[in-house]
A and B are shown apart, each in its own frame.
Chain A
Amino acid sequence: MQVSMKLEIKDAPGQLVAALKPISEVGGNIIAVIHQRDDKQRGKMLSVQIVLELPDHRLKDLTRLLREQGVNIQRIGHERLLYEKAVMMIGHLIHTDLGDTVDRIDRTGFAEVTELNISMPAITEVSSARLLIKSVNREDMEQAMDILRRVAKEKDFLLVEPLEEIE
């Protein structure tokens, strides 16, 4: 089964590795570790999201082992797409088959369009849309963005991407 967890660990060297150790102990496989900077940090604790695959009956063992490591489990869920990015698209979005544009992302299997807000002032004018795209991790997001850039070029609409600081 695939599980996503939001963990709170001490913001100190070695703590993240210690927190991840129980996952392999229960035969789990880490798919993604995400630390998005916009997470508000409380005191000396660090919030980390983890997506993992593990044998169905081992979830209880894992949560026990994590707690023993001093890790605070804030949330357990089954959503797997935790990495998100908002982009804008401007152009003849409807006439160039918006359904297909969204589908090009969705059918990758690793990224999805989860929100779409669109403004269509008049039939002859261009539309503007805000898309929220979710993916499992940063690499998948970059691939999804590459697809979207290609589609934008092909269908001649303007893609406005967020400005991201470099690591």
Chain B
Amino acid sequence: MKVAILGMGSVGRGVLRMLGEKDLGIEVTAVADSGSALIDKKGISIPEILKAKEMKGSCGDRSLGAIDVVSAADYDVLVEVTPTNAITGEPALTHMLAAIDRGHHVVTSNKGPISREFSLLMSRASEKGVCVRYEATVGGAIPIMHTLDQGLAGNRILAIFGVLNGTCNFILTRMADEGLTYEQALLEAREMGYAEADPTYDVKGIDPAIKLVILANKFWKETVRLEDVDITGIDKLTNNALRLAEEQHCTIRLIAEAIPDRGILRVAPRLLPLSHPLVVEGTLNAITIETDMAGEITLIGKGAGSVETASAILGDLLYIRDIHEGSHPETA
């Protein structure tokens, strides 16, 4: 199977490294970063391209770009791992649609296009008979999409509750454990590299709300959008509130919640008993799914990281390979 990779940030490099280390029968025929691209239908040497990126800061020919990879390279699956644009989903959305129109599958970690244009992408993919997989968009390494699509197939989803933002969970853990103020914990999260210079998306609850939209669209009747989510962030919480919660053997976590029967789509700080399965430490993520047949299932795992996200991407790639094995005789 041949893949073209858009994006050579932390996720893209993680995917390349793992493809290089593991003998999975997956060949990289094109790579693009923000300023250049490299296309070779005979296959690209992964160590060489990682080295070029490290030494020169770019991966290939500066006269080529992502759109050239999408429209001209020889590949079965487009791996779209560029940074998220939550407002328009562009330019990733255009690249994904172009790949689908050429009859290629898409695997992505990009929340923008999946949360904004879910129905467009899915209907276009189904017209062309290709897959769009997005395991890496929610919960990092946690196989939540595989769990919902395959593991829990046939179940009715009654509710989903999740800790979907590692930065917020880290801040709340530090405030509770060390009595740090919100500002101190945020500063620490920045120093550790968990929070962006502008932490608004995380601490205001927008990032977990986007992930909730992606999850809800798997089982909600109508298409859900970010505007449908009732969002409260963690930036007004105090260490005193956490201390008062602790006195009652409780703590506060930022919980994303989707309950279809009650029309609830909400991200808000909530009080939980310390023994609750969603009370996870540090940057971990956790998701509880309530279903009619399987009852309650909770998945806990690393919500971010280069190799952790690569795990989700590789899971999607191998799923597509197994499903479509033999359908592309020249690459099977």
Contacts and interface: CB of A to CB of B under 8 A. Distances in A.
Contacts of B248: 86, 130
Nearest to A118: B244
A129 B255 contact: no
B250 interface: yes
Given A160-B269, A161-B271, 4 more contacts: A119-B238, A128-B238, A160-B268, A161-B268
A163 B271 contact: yes
A32 to B, nearest CB: 22
29 contacts: A86-B250, A87-B271, A88-B244, A88-B252, A88-B271, A90-B236, A91-B236, A119-B240, A119-B241, A126-B236, A126-B238, A128-B240, A128-B244, A129-B244, A130-B241, A130-B244, A158-B232, A158-B236, A160-B241, A160-B268, A160-B269, A161-B271, A162-B271, A163-B161, A163-B255, A163-B271, A163-B276, A165-B290, A166-B290
Contacts of A162: 250, 270-272
Nearest to A162: B271
Interface string A120-164: 010000111110000000000000000000000000001011110
A146 B247 CA distance: 25
Contact of A161 (B158, B240, B270, B290): B270
Contacts of B247: 117, 130
Nearest to A119: B240
Interface residues of B, number: 28
A127 B271 CA distance: 17
B185 interface: no
B190 interface: no
B272 A117 contact: no
A90 B238 contact: yes
Nearest to A121: B240
Contacts of A90: 236-238, 241
Interface in B193-236: 232, 236
A132 B245 CA distance: 12
B64 interface: no
Interface in B123-138: none
Contacts of B1: none
Contacts of B39: none
Contacts, number: 68
A128 B182 CA distance: 13
Contact of A163 (B245, B278, B290): B278
Most buried by A among B232, B250, B276: B250
Interface of B: 158-159, 161, 232, 236-238, 240-241, 243-245, 247-248, 250, 252, 255, 257, 259, 268-272, 276, 278, 290, 296
B120 to A, nearest CB: 32
Interface residues of A, number: 20
Contacts of A166: 158-159, 259, 290
B249 to A, nearest CB: 11
B93 to A, nearest CB: 34
Contact of B271 (A117, A129, A160, A165): A160
A163 B176 CA distance: 18
Contacts of A160: 237, 241, 252, 268-271
A10 B188 CA distance: 54
A158 B259 contact: no
Contacts of A126: 236, 238
A77 B270 CA distance: 33
Contacts of B271: 86-88, 160-163
A91 B259 CA distance: 28
Nearest to B243: A119
A129 B243 CA distance: 10
A128 B246 CA distance: 13
Chain A to chain B: the 7 pairs with minimum beta-carbon distance, closest first: A119-B240, A128-B241, A128-B240, A163-B270, A130-B244, A162-B271, A158-B236
Contacts of A165: 290, 296
Contacts of A158: 232, 236-237, 269
Nearest to B235: A158
Contacts of A119: 238, 240-241, 243-244
A86 B251 CA distance: 12
Contacts of B240: 119, 121, 127-128
A141 to B, nearest CB: 14
Contact of B245 (A91, A127, A130): A130
Contacts of B269: 158, 160
A126 B240 CA distance: 10
Contacts of B276: 163
A24 B228 CA distance: 47
